[in-house]
Amino acid sequence: MNPPPFSPSAERNKQPILQVLQDLLPPAGQALEIASGTGQHAAWFTAALPQWRWQTSEHEAAALPGIAHWLADSAAASQPAPVRIDVCDTAWPSPDTEFVHGQFDLVYCANMLHIAPWACCAGLMQGSRRYLAANGRLVVYGPFLEADVPTSEGNRVFDRDLRARNPSWGLRKVDEVRAQASVAGLMLVQRHAMPANNLLLVFGHQAG
Protein backbone atom coordinates (compact mmCIF):
# COMPACT_ATOMS: atom_id res chain seq x y z
CA MET A 1 0.00 0.00 0.00
CA ASN A 2 1.33 3.44 -0.92
CA PRO A 3 2.00 5.83 1.99
CA PRO A 4 -0.52 8.66 2.45
CA PRO A 5 0.31 12.07 0.97
CA PHE A 6 2.44 14.22 3.24
CA SER A 7 2.98 17.97 3.40
CA PRO A 8 5.94 19.24 5.49
CA SER A 9 4.36 22.68 5.77
CA ALA A 10 1.06 21.23 7.00
CA GLU A 11 3.00 19.28 9.59
CA ARG A 12 4.73 22.47 10.77
CA ASN A 13 1.71 24.75 10.91
CA LYS A 14 -0.99 22.39 12.21
CA GLN A 15 -0.30 23.07 15.90
CA PRO A 16 -0.08 26.90 15.71
CA ILE A 17 -3.36 26.93 13.76
CA LEU A 18 -4.99 24.54 16.23
CA GLN A 19 -4.06 26.81 19.11
CA VAL A 20 -5.96 29.70 17.50
CA LEU A 21 -8.93 27.47 16.71
CA GLN A 22 -9.11 26.22 20.30
CA ASP A 23 -9.38 29.82 21.53
CA LEU A 24 -11.88 30.76 18.83
CA LEU A 25 -14.28 27.83 18.72
CA PRO A 26 -16.90 26.49 21.13
CA PRO A 27 -16.39 22.98 22.54
CA ALA A 28 -18.58 21.34 19.89
CA GLY A 29 -19.86 22.12 16.42
CA GLN A 30 -19.81 21.31 12.73
CA ALA A 31 -16.94 22.32 10.45
CA LEU A 32 -16.49 22.32 6.69
CA GLU A 33 -12.91 22.33 5.46
CA ILE A 34 -12.38 23.66 1.94
CA ALA A 35 -9.25 22.45 0.12
CA SER A 36 -8.25 19.85 2.71
CA GLY A 37 -5.05 19.01 0.83
CA THR A 38 -3.40 15.93 2.28
CA GLY A 39 -5.85 15.65 5.18
CA GLN A 40 -3.20 16.22 7.84
CA HIS A 41 -4.94 19.27 9.29
CA ALA A 42 -8.26 17.46 9.58
CA ALA A 43 -6.67 14.47 11.31
CA TRP A 44 -4.82 16.71 13.78
CA PHE A 45 -7.68 19.09 14.53
CA THR A 46 -10.33 16.43 15.08
CA ALA A 47 -8.07 14.53 17.47
CA ALA A 48 -7.87 17.68 19.59
CA LEU A 49 -11.53 18.70 19.03
CA PRO A 50 -13.35 15.38 19.47
CA GLN A 51 -16.80 16.99 19.78
CA TRP A 52 -16.52 18.57 16.35
CA ARG A 53 -17.91 16.97 13.19
CA TRP A 54 -15.40 17.77 10.46
CA GLN A 55 -16.39 17.57 6.78
CA THR A 56 -13.32 17.53 4.54
CA SER A 57 -13.29 18.38 0.82
CA GLU A 58 -11.05 18.91 -2.18
CA HIS A 59 -11.37 20.25 -5.71
CA GLU A 60 -9.55 17.29 -7.25
CA ALA A 61 -11.33 13.97 -6.82
CA ALA A 62 -7.95 12.21 -6.97
CA ALA A 63 -7.04 13.80 -3.61
CA LEU A 64 -10.00 12.34 -1.72
CA PRO A 65 -8.50 8.87 -1.03
CA GLY A 66 -5.42 10.44 0.55
CA ILE A 67 -7.58 12.54 2.86
CA ALA A 68 -9.62 9.48 3.76
CA HIS A 69 -6.38 7.63 4.55
CA TRP A 70 -5.33 10.30 7.05
CA LEU A 71 -8.77 10.25 8.67
CA ALA A 72 -8.79 6.46 8.92
CA ASP A 73 -5.36 6.41 10.56
CA SER A 74 -6.32 8.89 13.27
CA ALA A 75 -8.92 9.63 15.90
CA ALA A 76 -10.95 11.11 13.03
CA ALA A 77 -11.96 7.70 11.68
CA SER A 78 -15.60 8.40 12.57
CA GLN A 79 -15.69 11.65 10.59
CA PRO A 80 -17.65 11.87 7.30
CA ALA A 81 -15.93 10.89 4.07
CA PRO A 82 -14.29 13.71 2.09
CA VAL A 83 -16.32 15.20 -0.77
CA ARG A 84 -15.42 17.08 -3.94
CA ILE A 85 -16.11 20.82 -3.90
CA ASP A 86 -15.32 23.36 -6.60
CA VAL A 87 -15.82 26.76 -4.96
CA CYS A 88 -16.16 28.38 -8.39
CA ASP A 89 -19.31 26.36 -8.97
CA THR A 90 -22.07 28.70 -7.81
CA ALA A 91 -24.12 25.68 -6.75
CA TRP A 92 -21.42 24.05 -4.63
CA PRO A 93 -21.29 21.49 -3.14
CA SER A 94 -21.57 18.87 -5.86
CA PRO A 95 -25.05 17.54 -6.75
CA ASP A 96 -24.47 14.31 -4.82
CA THR A 97 -23.61 16.20 -1.62
CA GLU A 98 -26.25 18.40 -0.02
CA PHE A 99 -25.54 20.97 2.67
CA VAL A 100 -28.22 22.92 4.53
CA HIS A 101 -28.00 26.70 4.67
CA GLY A 102 -26.59 27.72 8.04
CA GLN A 103 -25.31 24.20 8.73
CA PHE A 104 -21.70 24.89 9.71
CA ASP A 105 -20.26 26.66 12.73
CA LEU A 106 -16.89 26.86 10.98
CA VAL A 107 -15.71 26.98 7.39
CA TYR A 108 -11.95 26.47 7.33
CA CYS A 109 -9.68 27.04 4.32
CA ALA A 110 -5.88 26.91 4.46
CA ASN A 111 -3.36 27.66 1.72
CA MET A 112 -5.79 27.78 -1.16
CA LEU A 113 -6.21 31.38 -2.30
CA HIS A 114 -2.64 31.87 -3.53
CA ILE A 115 -2.64 28.67 -5.63
CA ALA A 116 -6.06 29.14 -7.20
CA PRO A 117 -7.59 31.64 -9.63
CA TRP A 118 -8.82 34.84 -8.00
CA ALA A 119 -12.43 33.82 -8.74
CA CYS A 120 -12.04 31.16 -6.06
CA CYS A 121 -11.95 33.88 -3.41
CA ALA A 122 -15.41 35.12 -4.37
CA GLY A 123 -16.65 31.54 -4.57
CA LEU A 124 -15.30 30.77 -1.11
CA MET A 125 -16.92 33.85 0.38
CA GLN A 126 -20.30 33.35 -1.28
CA GLY A 127 -20.49 29.70 -0.31
CA SER A 128 -19.35 30.40 3.23
CA ARG A 129 -22.11 32.97 3.65
CA ARG A 130 -24.68 30.37 2.59
CA TYR A 131 -23.51 27.57 4.83
CA LEU A 132 -22.27 29.40 7.95
CA ALA A 133 -24.53 29.42 11.00
CA ALA A 134 -25.60 32.82 12.31
CA ASN A 135 -22.64 33.01 14.69
CA GLY A 136 -20.34 30.89 12.53
CA ARG A 137 -16.84 31.80 11.45
CA LEU A 138 -14.88 31.52 8.22
CA VAL A 139 -11.17 30.97 8.95
CA VAL A 140 -8.71 31.55 6.10
CA TYR A 141 -5.01 30.78 6.57
CA GLY A 142 -2.01 31.44 4.36
CA PRO A 143 0.48 34.05 3.13
CA PHE A 144 -0.99 37.45 2.25
CA LEU A 145 0.05 40.94 1.25
CA GLU A 146 -0.94 43.81 3.54
CA ALA A 147 -0.94 47.55 2.97
CA ASP A 148 1.54 49.34 5.24
CA VAL A 149 3.03 46.03 6.40
CA PRO A 150 6.42 45.14 4.88
CA THR A 151 6.36 41.91 2.90
CA SER A 152 9.04 39.43 3.92
CA GLU A 153 11.67 38.55 1.34
CA GLY A 154 10.53 34.94 1.49
CA ASN A 155 6.96 35.90 0.62
CA ARG A 156 8.15 38.18 -2.21
CA VAL A 157 10.13 35.31 -3.71
CA PHE A 158 7.22 32.94 -3.20
CA ASP A 159 4.82 35.33 -4.92
CA ARG A 160 7.11 35.73 -7.95
CA ASP A 161 7.54 31.97 -8.19
CA LEU A 162 3.78 31.36 -8.05
CA ARG A 163 3.04 33.92 -10.76
CA ALA A 164 5.77 32.48 -12.98
CA ARG A 165 4.24 29.03 -12.64
CA ASN A 166 0.68 30.26 -13.26
CA PRO A 167 -0.29 33.89 -13.97
CA SER A 168 -3.62 33.37 -12.17
CA TRP A 169 -1.84 32.47 -8.91
CA GLY A 170 -0.09 34.68 -6.37
CA LEU A 171 -0.31 36.05 -2.86
CA ARG A 172 -3.56 37.96 -2.31
CA LYS A 173 -3.99 41.39 -0.78
CA VAL A 174 -5.88 41.32 2.50
CA ASP A 175 -7.85 44.43 1.51
CA GLU A 176 -9.04 42.72 -1.67
CA VAL A 177 -10.01 39.57 0.23
CA ARG A 178 -11.95 41.74 2.70
CA ALA A 179 -13.73 43.42 -0.22
CA GLN A 180 -14.84 40.05 -1.61
CA ALA A 181 -16.02 39.07 1.85
CA SER A 182 -18.04 42.27 2.14
CA VAL A 183 -19.76 41.65 -1.18
CA ALA A 184 -20.81 38.25 0.19
CA GLY A 185 -22.10 39.73 3.45
CA LEU A 186 -19.11 38.77 5.60
CA MET A 187 -16.68 40.96 7.55
CA LEU A 188 -13.19 40.51 8.95
CA VAL A 189 -13.43 40.17 12.74
CA GLN A 190 -9.96 38.92 13.71
CA ARG A 191 -6.45 38.91 12.27
CA HIS A 192 -3.77 36.65 13.73
CA ALA A 193 -0.09 36.83 12.76
CA MET A 194 1.23 33.28 12.41
CA PRO A 195 4.69 31.70 12.09
CA ALA A 196 6.58 31.81 8.78
CA ASN A 197 4.96 35.12 7.72
CA ASN A 198 1.46 33.71 7.41
CA LEU A 199 -1.86 35.15 8.58
CA LEU A 200 -5.02 33.60 9.96
CA LEU A 201 -8.06 35.71 9.07
CA VAL A 202 -11.42 35.23 10.78
CA PHE A 203 -14.64 36.37 9.10
CA GLY A 204 -18.23 36.45 10.35
CA HIS A 205 -21.63 37.57 9.10
CA GLN A 206 -22.09 41.32 8.78
CA ALA A 207 -24.35 42.84 11.42
CA GLY A 208 -27.93 43.35 10.33
Task: Return the pLDDT at 75.
Answer: 67
Distance CA 104, CA 69 (A): 24
Q: Phi and psi at residue 42, in whole multiples of 5°?
A: -60, -45
Task: Return the pLDDT at 1.
Answer: 53
Question: Which 3 state secondary structure label does DSSP give 74?
Answer: coil
Domain assignment of residue 2, yes or no: no
| Residue environment code for 21-39, b if the CB has 16+ CB neighbours within 10 A, otherwise e | beeebeeebbbbbbbbbbb
Beta strands 186-194 and 198-205: pairing type?
antiparallel
- The mean per-residue pLDDT over the stretch 42-51 comes to 94
Neighbours of 12 (CB within 10 A): 11
Domain assignment of residue 106, yes or no: yes
Domain assignment of residue 22, yes or no: yes
Q: What does the pLDDT look like over 73-91, one tens digit per residue?
A: 776 668 999 999 999 998 8
Distance CA 71, CA 57 (A): 12
Domain assignment of residue 98, yes or no: yes
Task: Return the pLDDT at 98.
Answer: 87
Question: Which 3 state secondary structure label does DSSP give 28?
Answer: coil
CA dihedral 25, 30, 33, 38 (to 10 degrees): 100
% of the chain beyond a pLDDT of 90: 90
Identify which has the larger pLDDT, 95 or 171: 171
Task: Return the pLDDT at 73.
Answer: 74
CATH number at residue 31: 3.40.50.150
Domain assignment of residue 13, yes or no: yes
Distance linking the first and last C-alpha atoms of the chain: 53
Residue of 88, 91, 99 whose CA lies nearest to 124: 88
Give the global pTM.
Answer: 0.97
Q: How many domains is the chain built from?
A: 1
Domain assignment of residue 3, yes or no: no
Q: What does the pLDDT look like over 145-161, one tens digit per residue?
A: 999 999 999 999 999 99
Task: Return the pLDDT at 190.
Answer: 98
Asked if 76 contacts 42 with a C-beta cutoff of 8 angstroms, the reply is: yes
Domain assignment of residue 1, yes or no: no
Domain residues for the domain of 105 are 8-205
Q: What does the pLDDT look like over 96-128, one tens digit per residue?
A: 788 999 999 999 999 999 999 999 999 999 999
pLDDT at 95 over 90: no
pLDDT at 30 over 60: yes
